[in-house]
A and B are shown apart, each in its own frame.
Chain A
Amino acid sequence: MAEIRLEQLAHSYHGAPSGPADYALRPMDHVWEQGGAYALLGPSGCGKSTLLNIISGLLVPSEGRVLYDGKSVNDLTPQQRNIAQVFQFPVVYDTMTVHENLAFPLRNQGQSRERIDARVREVAEALEIEPLLNRKAQNLTADEKQKVSMGRGLVRDDVAAILFDEPLTVIDPQLKWRLRRKLKEIHQRFNVTMVYVTHDQLEASTFADKIAVMYEGQIVQFGTPRELFENPQHTFVGYFIGSPGMNLLDIALGASGVEFDGHALAVPDAIVDQLRQREGGRLQLGIRPEFVQLVAADDAVLHGYVDLVQDQGTFKIVDVRLDTPSAPVIKARLGEEASVPEGRTGVHFPEAWQRFYIDDHLVGVADENL
């Protein structure tokens, strides 16, 4: 059980990295506190698995340090670090029974037979694989094998942390949900630090208390699911979290303030001042589809026509094409009972939910929204 701290950690698979593009992980500082349930969320190839393998010691970082409870473990092997990791695809020892598979990490530590047996039964019960204990591992289904793989991670109760690398990829959806609940229960029962890598935001938010969103080798935001939803620190977080993702519009600074395609937008002066201070970057306005309001044409600055309505059962996603020169599509998420306007409609962005970005990074918002 340990707090895991990353200090100026970076990794490149090239021998001599010449620019940021050569890094799988760009320099980062981060802390996973003891006992937390964390998710590491990001698209394929963003460096999630690389980061996980560095934490467990399977990979040696090219720069920076990994600290467990303040002590550097850079020079320690995974064996010496005493950490558990569950991989994306099931790894079982074919010739062993399920019981022997689960007992294997404990036997390697030289624990007593009674203790091993008690632990194995506890974990088997939690994962609902007790009836399989005496079966040969090679004859199990993919689901069952992955449960055994997870069991080998959970069976050790003295580990610094348990790392999960998209462990539910091969599991069918119903069981997925149950296993996530199980993991959460186990987390609460054993109070062990867990880091869960996934590219599925739903999986991340149901498992974790705090989510780290990764993009191009960096952690772009670390926060609760609510924080990620309400205040994306980076346009990627806005786009990646939420369904559908945040609407992003390219805006410009004009004499009258913030303008979009020639229309002046009502924006607080404090924000305009900040934008003016850092002129030259790419300016964007972000608004979540949940907060976009479709109003009578006379009540709005921006107007458009409904392009497409997708009925998702409990809500509708409405695509509105604005009648401005660049004609972007704005997505609005409406309740199932809300009526979809016909013909020309006004589009309104409530001030409290407008977010502004310079070169993809959030510009400070009024504090009451945080």
Chain B
Amino acid sequence: MKTYNNKAWWLVLPVFVLVAFSAIIPMMTVVNYSVQDIFDPSTRYFVGTEWYREILADPRLHDSLVRQFIYSFCVLAIEVPLGIIVALSMPRRGLGVPFSLILLSLPLLVPWNVVGTIWQIIGREDIGLYGWTLNSLGLDYNYASNPRDAWITVLVMDVWHWTSLVALLCYSGLRSIPDVYYQAARIDRASHWAVFRFIQLPKLKNVLLIAVMLRFMDSFMIYTEPFVLTGGGPGTATTFLSQTLTQMALGQFDLGRAAAFSLIYFLIILLVTWVFYTAMTHNDDKG
């Protein structure tokens, strides 16, 4: 005899509790702050959408949002193709496999603030490998004073840190392609480009979706590395969204505006990620 009841909900309950404490309750707190002006627990005023209207008109948000989008776009435009190229050129068997896997994993194991410190030193024109080399080639490079140089350094640092992730994801995707596909392509006299375009790329689609979303979200929320490297400067050249938010929330203790900012920030990430996801999967259902 099968019995039909709602007992299975008890099995799902732990997840609900966990998600409630880890995500829903903290987020509701932020929502709470974003619609009220709170001085202390007993002194608070409901302000409706005022914080939102103020923050949306704030030029600081506009500037760092534009900076943020350009930055994330550059990160994806460099790291995704580069990661695919690295994955394609990695050995498929032999001793080279563990060697290249370990080599690629190394940057991923370095903590974010250490990455910032490393590049702070490498970029120095007196003792840093990168800064000294550029300067001795006759290029006037100084990431601490030149906004363009600071930008490039932050970008190169991210490429150094995270291209491995894309490469490793793509490599695992490539490894899952059975040999017989390559054999069939040789029999069909396909060119190298055709093998990439019609066998490798379609099989990489799913891992690329993950790679693009991870790299977009991470780069859109980047904080530690530029904070350590440039402190957001020179001026505000490398002040990205999360740093603007931190200054507002912790520097100026402007919690209402910061809460509204956070929610808008969150919705932007959600929206862009959804757009990526939909764009990359909508072809699946077509026959």
Residue of B whose beta carbon sits closest to that of A136: B287
Name 28 interchain pairs, CB-CB below 8 A, sorted by A: A53-B183, A57-B186, A58-B183, A58-B186, A79-B186, A79-B189, A84-B187, A85-B183, A85-B184, A85-B187, A87-B180, A87-B183, A87-B184, A91-B184, A93-B198, A93-B202, A94-B202, A96-B198, A104-B194, A105-B187, A108-B189, A108-B191, A136-B286, A136-B287, A139-B287, A149-B184, A152-B184, A152-B188
Residues of B within 8 A of A58 (CB): 183, 186-187
Looking at the assembled complex, report how far the CB atom of B284 sits from the nearest CB atom of chain A, in whole angstroms.
8
Which B256-287 residues sit within 8 Å CB-CB of chain A?
Answer: 286-287
Residue of A whose beta carbon sits closest to that of B186: A78
B188-230 CB contact bits vs A (8 Å, 1 = yes)? Answer: 1111001000110010000000000000000000000000000
Q: How far is the CA of A58 from the CA of B202 in the complex (A)?
A: 23
Q: How far is the CA of A336 from the CA of B199 in the complex (A)?
A: 55
Residues of A within 8 A of B189 (CB): 78-79, 82, 105, 108-109
Q: Does B253 contact A (CB under 8 A)?
A: no
Q: With A91-B181, A95-B202 in contact, do A56 and B187 touch (Cβ < 8 Å)?
A: yes
Q: Does A77 contact B (CB under 8 A)?
A: yes
Q: Which of A82, A83, A104 has the most C-beta atoms of chain B within 10 angstroms of its own C-beta?
A: A104
Looking at the assembled complex, report how far the CB atom of B139 sits from the nearest CB atom of chain A, in whole angstroms.
44
Residues of B within 8 A of A89 (CB): 180
**A-B pairs with lowest CB-CB distance, top 6:** A91-B184, A105-B188, A108-B189, A79-B189, A78-B186, A93-B198
Q: How far is the CA of A96 from the CA of B190 in the complex (A)?
A: 14
Q: How far is the CA of A347 from the CA of B190 in the complex (A)?
A: 62
Residue of B whose beta carbon sits closest to that of A107: B194
Chain A residues with a Cβ under 8 A of chain B: 53, 56-58, 77-79, 82-85, 87, 89, 91, 93-96, 104-105, 108-109, 135-136, 139, 149, 152-153
Looking at the assembled complex, report how far the CB atom of B192 sits from the nearest CB atom of chain A, in whole angstroms.
11
Residues of B within 8 A of A96 (CB): 198
Q: Is A77 a contact of B186 with CB atoms below 8 Å?
A: yes
Looking at the assembled complex, report how far the CB atom of A226 sits from the nearest CB atom of chain B, in whole angstroms.
33
Residues of B within 8 A of A149 (CB): 184
Q: Which of B181, B183, B184, B287 contacts A135 (CB 8 A)?
A: B287
Residue of A whose beta carbon sits closest to that of B187: A85
Q: Is B188 a contact of A104 with CB atoms below 8 Å?
A: yes
Q: Is A93 a contact of B187 with CB atoms below 8 Å?
A: no
Q: Which of B180, B191, B287 contacts A91 (CB 8 A)?
A: B180
Residue of B whose beta carbon sits closest to that of A87: B180
Residues of A within 8 A of B202 (CB): 93-95
Residues of B within 8 A of A85 (CB): 183-184, 187
Sample of 8 further A-B pairs with CB below 8 A, known A58-B187, A78-B189, A79-B186: A58-B186, A78-B187, A79-B189, A85-B187, A94-B202, A104-B190, A149-B184, A152-B188
Q: With A79-B189, A94-B202, A136-B286 in contact, do A108 and B184 touch (Cβ < 8 Å)?
A: no
Residues of B within 8 A of A93 (CB): 198-199, 202
Q: Which of B188, B199, B287 contacts A108 (CB 8 A)?
A: B188
Q: Is B198 a contact of A95 with CB atoms below 8 Å?
A: yes
Residue of A whose beta carbon sits closest to that of B286: A136
Q: Is B194 a contact of A108 with CB atoms below 8 Å?
A: yes
Residue of A whose beta carbon sits closest to that of B181: A91
Residues of A within 8 A of B186 (CB): 57-58, 77-79
Residues of B within 8 A of A135 (CB): 287
Looking at the assembled complex, report how far the CB atom of A361 sits from the nearest CB atom of chain B, in whole angstroms.
36
Residues of A within 8 A of B188 (CB): 104-105, 108, 152
Q: How far is the CA of A152 from the CA of B190 in the complex (A)?
A: 12
Residues of A within 8 A of B190 (CB): 104, 108
Residue of B whose beta carbon sits closest to that of A155: B188
Looking at the assembled complex, report how far the CB atom of A288 sits from the nearest CB atom of chain B, in whole angstroms.
38
Looking at the assembled complex, report how far the CB atom of A84 sits from the nearest CB atom of chain B, in whole angstroms.
6
Residues of B within 8 A of A105 (CB): 187-189
Looking at the assembled complex, report how far the CB atom of B220 sits from the nearest CB atom of chain A, in whole angstroms.
29
